[in-house]
Structure 1
């Protein structure tokens, strides 16, 4: 699964579980499949960054009610790869699976 497929599948699952707002999206296939997504969910910003070279998905969150630009980010977790991670990501973002 590439990052674009991951984003598409994640948003299809999220739409029924959590109200979210896409803040930023970037996918760069020539850069080892690098990509990042940012969502605002229940007043908190979440950033998902995929490092295609290391095959790791890093999830970060801001403090509640901070604006996206200038937010103070803290690392929530790192997951290995994109395959079979949709349910884990939804749990982290606060949705019921």
Structure 2
């Protein structure tokens, strides 16, 4: 079980553009954070990097459990879920 998330010096690129660099965060189970910013600032890309869908240009994402660091792939497969902002249904289609 994931008990904490540690993001260290993270940088994410989209194409030739660096969205952000030097991002860090320590978050423990039960804590919450609000991620705000203008369009194109990299909010969704940050979440995708944490979820493992995007490879960071620099830095790292670590997950820890009660006994210490967890393997990132195992932690993601068992305890990380990303709900995107795109609709799952196609409203132009009918049953």
TM-score (norm 1): 0.24
Q: Is the strand fraction higher in 1 or 2?
A: 1
